[in-house]
Structure 1
């Protein structure tokens, strides 16, 4: 018997708690009444005889129709239904009962796939994250969606509508929110009386220095209800200023926009998704004051009662999360959710159900007769970077499918299976480029890759197209974009490009070799960025310049490396540190010279003193000899 949450008309049925809910109205059913309701709903509107209901819900018990009549009456009362004018449960005289209201099992993936007729291009997203409009082909995260829906409902009851999703890079955090949680909350029935009417998304990887509030304001301006802006008649700059000085006014405007929707049975909310939180917590572009200011603003929006906030963060940045009290505030209440790698069963759903929705079939291996979907599942289960590589492989198989929509084993083998698919694709694209463009690979990678100061954590970053100084480098990056290995996008109204996914850095041998060769320079670059940020934060105080010795020598070596470009602030820091080192060196030289002079003078004076002492000793001896002679002469005369 299905015990997952589902909807009968406008009523949300939760078998686990024997309850039904419509908006703020919640009613509890007796266990037998819930059993009868589940049986009727599982038949999807088909007629169910009284004998069948009794034998199913009261097995091995001899009784008449009276208990069943009482249960049906209780169900009608709970649904506010009438036997004479039914909208939920209809009685077929002397035959049985059936549910005539619309039945929706939102978390029943098999039903969802079989009833979906996908009309889009590919049901697989490749190296991109799933978007809300691709929810119909998003499968394999049923349990995680249900858990997050329960948690966000609980967080709202606690008065703090904030959930933080933690997971490894490529684990599908963004897709889970975009194509799983958000569509469920935006459905006509909502969840637990909660319904989202508009959403917006802020990706911290696209935020530049000194634009935190401005980019948040620009994101909030995307909120619309019934094609009308929630925050109308205000510019991004003005909204950023208002968020800083008077966030309560912004919250009041959001509540006013939602107030017109209160006639509905569900409580209306706005939704903000903050992606790649780790960038805010670790990037040297943002000062501690800026971080604390933005986190405090997010906390205020989450406790406003009008906005639900979800955020995704890589779990290897959890130490930075722990250092922020506002992010840890709801952990004990379930505000943190750890997204684990998919199980084998979930991988099967991710592979098979989108294909079912799109009418695709799988070829069997010509020798051992293993179906391709089973082989994909076997190859993916042992791979830590499963999801991005799996989706990329599936997308390539879709593009090379047969005329009768069959995904082919031969194409899978040609791709190099799961592990080699992305790296092989990158290598194929690279080898087809002219030599002058291939020569620019190192210069392009240097703008896309950053390393933590300790040299351990490798991450990607966005680069401006304007940073590419040669035509060959531009053509190389564009070829990667055309092959969906890089993505091109706008960042602060400037054209940028970035890696489609960091898995490329771990599975393309050329990128791996380049990182290993320049690992030390990448770590130095990161340390210089952090030092520059600290120096600027302290008003360029000389105490925060690079120390003479290894830190300064490393920075100077980076200046001489033509592969790495430094910002004007970083160059200013190195120049100021170098000038300070030169001044210190001159002072040391002068001091040393003075010490040498003093030593020479002291030595000279010591020699003079010794010489004078010898002369005085000689004269004393002569005087003594003369005195002895005179005394002897005087004695002889006497």
Structure 2
């Protein structure tokens, strides 16, 4: 999303929240959207009252040279909300077959998933700008960093790489090919480089720098100094200093620029929920008790806890796989699984059973340190420094981060862990086994 309003001889850049509201109205142009719904979709909460919505609409009208009394763009529907009344034209898209999988669960989106990768347009624009500015300035390495499970890999693979391999991108960037660095792709990368002309470029992705074996360090250093290579590495914030200490990607880290991935806004989370379903011709069901839309409930549930993106994706995958023959994803699945927390707990149990086999006695002790009940009955998760964990607890951390029950963060330059969904951590602690 470029956040611009363009007319002949004029260009205006919108503030991010204003762009979110305009985008939401545009994607629901056939509906009257209430202020409460805009608050949930673009602010993530109705806590602030309606005033932010009214101010934002006023600013949008000013930017559009619109008049509330004779609207050409945004109309006020008394006691109901707002509606975009101007014609809306969207870029031509190809509807995907209903059998396609629009939600990846706790797994990242890959290069082939670009058609269903939504909600990160702003981050993708920023990352592409960083990429092309680095290339123009002779910088050949970019480190994409952020908290664990913030969407780094998906942004690079389904966003940046997918856009670079599109035929239209070849004019701006002479891409000869791309590859990921793993122990199994060393020969493929060497073959690709041997067949690449000096004027061409190769993009190499070092995904998860913190998990890479030390045997790949010499190759990363060599790639970081090859003038034909643009090297893109992803790394958790909490592990970046450790990568530097052990010499993993030394030349890469010395010469790179960094791009920090932040959590999506409420409007972007709404897009992550709704737009893949729309692309595949799917619909969200309603609560049979009170007619609430499942997508609205998912948005509200996800926005209660920062860092809920993997848990939300797991819930979306579960309801996708329970869709009926007409493409409706049922509300009953959300309720039967136990909401987003229940879906995440089930996924974590499967993951731990595969990785550890038997119940680890330190698991309940660790999780109860990370999921606390406050005096007023609310759940919270403190940031716990890794250095405060004992050996048995440390042995579980990587698995729990991979299972998305825990996330790694950097707090005051100290690596920490936190439970983004405290209720899921409590349920896992009480599960009593990996069954």
TM range (shorter): 0.5 to 0.7
Counterpart contact for 1:389–1:418, Cα < 8 Å = yes
Q: CA deviation at 1:342?
A: 0.9
Structure 1's 428 and 131: CA in aligned 2 closer, same or farther, altered over 3 A?
Answer: closer
Corresponding residue of 1:123: 102
Q: CA deviation at 1:346?
A: 0.7
Secondary structure at the counterpart of residue 168 of structure 2:
coil
Counterparts of 2:350 and 2:226 in 1: how far apart (Å)?
51
Q: CA deviation at 1:274?
A: 0.9
Structure 1's 404 and 143: CA in aligned 2 closer, same or farther, altered over 3 A?
Answer: same
Larger radius of gyration: 1
Counterpart contact for 1:167–1:313, Cα < 8 Å = yes
Counterparts of 1:408 and 1:514 in 2: how far apart (Å)?
26
Counterpart contact for 2:140–2:224, Cα < 8 Å = yes
Corresponding residue of 2:207: 275
Structure 1's 144 and 502: CA in aligned 2 closer, same or farther, altered over 3 A?
Answer: same
TM-score, length basis structure 1: 0.43
Structure 1's 307 and 410: CA in aligned 2 closer, same or farther, altered over 3 A?
Answer: same
2:122 corresponds to 1:143: yes
2:402 corresponds to 1:501: yes
Secondary structure at the counterpart of residue 401 of structure 1:
coil
Q: Deviations over 1:448-498 (max 9, x none)?
A: xxx956528957699xxxxxxxxxxxxxxxxxxxxxxxxxxxxxxxxxxx7
Counterparts of 2:344 and 2:309 in 1: how far apart (Å)?
12
Corresponding residue of 1:184: 163
Counterpart contact for 1:149–1:191, Cα < 8 Å = no
Counterparts of 1:308 and 1:125 in 2: how far apart (Å)?
27
Q: Which moved more, 1:319-328 or 1:192-201?
A: 319-328
Counterparts of 2:100 and 2:253 in 1: how far apart (Å)?
41
Q: CA deviation at 1:349?
A: 0.9
Corresponding residue of 1:612: none
How many aligned residue pairs are there? 317
Structure 1's 312 and 414: CA in aligned 2 closer, same or farther, altered over 3 A?
Answer: same
Structure 1's 34 and 321: CA in aligned 2 closer, same or farther, altered over 3 A?
Answer: same
Q: CA deviation at 1:172?
A: 1.1
Higher relative contact order (CA 8 A, sep 6+): 2
Q: Name the structure where helix makes up a greater proportion of residues.
A: 1
Corresponding residue of 1:455: 389
Alignment partner of 1:258 out of 188, 191, 196:
196
Which blocks of at least 5 consecutive residues in structure 1 are unaligned?
6-14, 19-30, 36-58, 60-107, 204-214, 224-229, 232-252, 446-450, 463-497, 516-638
Corresponding residue of 2:312: 390
Q: CA deviation at 1:124?
A: 0.7
TM-score, length basis structure 2: 0.61
Alignment partner of 2:148 out of 169, 172, 183:
169
Secondary structure at the counterpart of residue 370 of structure 1:
coil
Counterparts of 1:320 and 1:429 in 2: how far apart (Å)?
26
Counterparts of 2:237 and 2:154 in 1: how far apart (Å)?
16
Counterpart contact for 2:347–2:403, Cα < 8 Å = no
Q: CA deviation at 1:190?
A: 1.5
Q: CA deviation at 1:119?
A: 5.5
2:343 corresponds to 1:421: yes
